[in-house]
Chains A and B, each alone.
Chain A
Amino acid sequence: MTFLPAPVLSATAAALCVVLIFLVPCAAAGLSLINAGLGRSRSAAHAMMASLCALAIAALVYFVCGFAWQGFPGQPAHFLMAGGKSWDWIAAQPFFLRGLKLDGSPASLAVWLQMLSVGLAALIPLGAGADRWRLSAICASTALLAGWTYPLFAHWAWGGGWLAQLGVNCGLGHGFVDAGGSGAIQVVGGLTALAIAWILGPRRGKYSAKGMPSAIPGHNVVLVVFGCLLAWLGWLGLNSAGAILFTDADIGRVVLIAINTTLAATSAGMTAALITRLRFSKPDSSLTANGWIGGLVASSAGCALLPPAEAIVVGMVAGALVIFSVEWFEFGLRVDDPGGAISVHALSGIWGLLAVGLFARFPDQASGQLLAQLIGIATLVGFVLPLTYGLNWLLDRFYPQRVAPEGERQGMDLHELGADAYPEFTIHSEEFTPH
């Protein structure tokens, strides 16, 4: 069997990892604020409450069974023989983290980081399902994500699974590389967002009888932009800790990682601002914020391996991709994604994975890296999307995920929580009234 070796961390690297992982909840806080800000004011409290619930359910389910499927390199796993080679397809760890020493070892640090990362992935679909996704359905869908979809792909990419083995088994570069989670966190979350948007359908009043979308702007841009700044801090920790734990980056690389993360985010944000300025004569703040997050997402996969100039290119492409794809989803595909989660997380994440194959510089350059990245992307689109759609479709059959029409009209805050986020402001526009 071809076991990938477990990484070895010095005491200093482990201590640094601890500090970096402490920053990751900032990314969760940032995404929550962005989701709330881009939704309607009458669903703002619901959006924040949903974030709390998603984070809680994700951590609990990951503790119960998520890590058992995901595992860590060098730990027990199930293998399949194909083409004369053994392929690691799922971990064989006990449930409830039994037998794992939580003592600062690389595996224990990975569990801690993953418990936060799975929460981050669970927050992403909330942006796509805003204003119409029931709270209890959010909890059930999050359990499916944290218990099945996420751990399976994370094992393949990070737990010594078959995608990580592509380098050893097939001579494809260093195998599938995803240091900070462009694929395992962002694309998995983004594709789940797409599945949710498809299953729920658009918000009422979003499309006219002729299929033309009407603008339903976010209710608080300040929350959105502050969320971006918080997410930047969180991403610095996420990318650095991920690179140390999953790609054996030495601690000296943290400086490069921080610089690349910052350059990708800033260049993506500025590209988005410039494009919206050119197209609409004024820069659009919410699209600029989405571009910024798109840059962070794209930076994750290759943060430890890209030269800074290439990180800028990665960010610029991500910023442009977000702007054009948001429009394409809304007008062309008629997908109602209030938070832009599909463009920001799924498409930018795929671009970040591809960028590793195009621009990454490894200490020992090996051919076939681009093909390894393409195989990872094909797995996300060809397996993870049907899996997450199928699980959520089944859930929807037995337990409808969309709120009743009355609830959508009333607002999610009042309907599901019994109180508005902004009780002083009781007047809001009514999309259902003919003008």
Chain B
Amino acid sequence: MKLAGFLLLLAGWAIVLAAVAMLASAGQRTIFVLAGISVEILGLALVARTHRALPEERDKLPADRLRGEKA
């Protein structure tokens, strides 16, 4: 999922680059740039979702601390 998110980020940027290099009309270019940014936002959302700190963070606490809690 994380990789897919980053690939979407790069794909969005590629759409923006293609719009700049290949399209001449201002209207088309604007639409493609906005489409590229939308793809980037999608990718960013995906990456952010995979990075949310999980509740099991607690499990990563040092062993001695966990032992202390059980006691």
Q: Which residues of A contact B (CB under 8 A)?
A: 82-83, 85, 87, 162, 166, 170, 198, 201-202, 204, 206-211, 333-336, 367-368, 371, 374-375, 377-379, 381-383, 385-386, 389-390, 405-406, 409, 432, 434
Contact = CB atoms under 8 A, between A and B. Distances in A.
Contact of B62 (A170, A377, A409): A409
Nearest to B51: A198
Contacts, number: 96
B16 A204 contact: no
Interface in B19-70: 20-22, 26, 29-30, 33-34, 36-37, 40, 43-44, 47-48, 51-55, 57-58, 60-62, 65, 69
Given A83-B22, A371-B33, A409-B62, A334 B40 contact: no
Interface of B: 6, 9-10, 12-14, 16, 20-22, 26, 29-30, 33-34, 36-37, 40, 43-44, 47-48, 51-55, 57-58, 60-62, 65, 69
9 contacts: A85-B21, A87-B21, A204-B60, A367-B26, A368-B26, A371-B33, A374-B33, A374-B34, A434-B69
Q: Is the interface of B mostly helix, strand, loop or mixed?
A: helix
A334 B52 contact: yes
Contacts of B54: 211
Contacts of A378: 12-13, 16, 33, 36-37, 40
Contact of B53 (A166, A201, A386, A405): A201
Given A170-B20, A382-B43, 19 more contacts: A198-B47, A201-B57, A204-B60, A204-B61, A333-B52, A371-B29, A375-B16, A375-B20, A378-B12, A378-B36, A378-B40, A379-B13, A381-B12, A382-B12, A382-B36, A382-B40, A383-B10, A386-B10, A409-B62
Given A83-B22, A201-B57, A202-B53, A382 B48 contact: no
A347 B58 CA distance: 30
A379 B53 CA distance: 27
B39 to A, nearest CB: 8
B13 A405 contact: no
Nearest to A165: B20
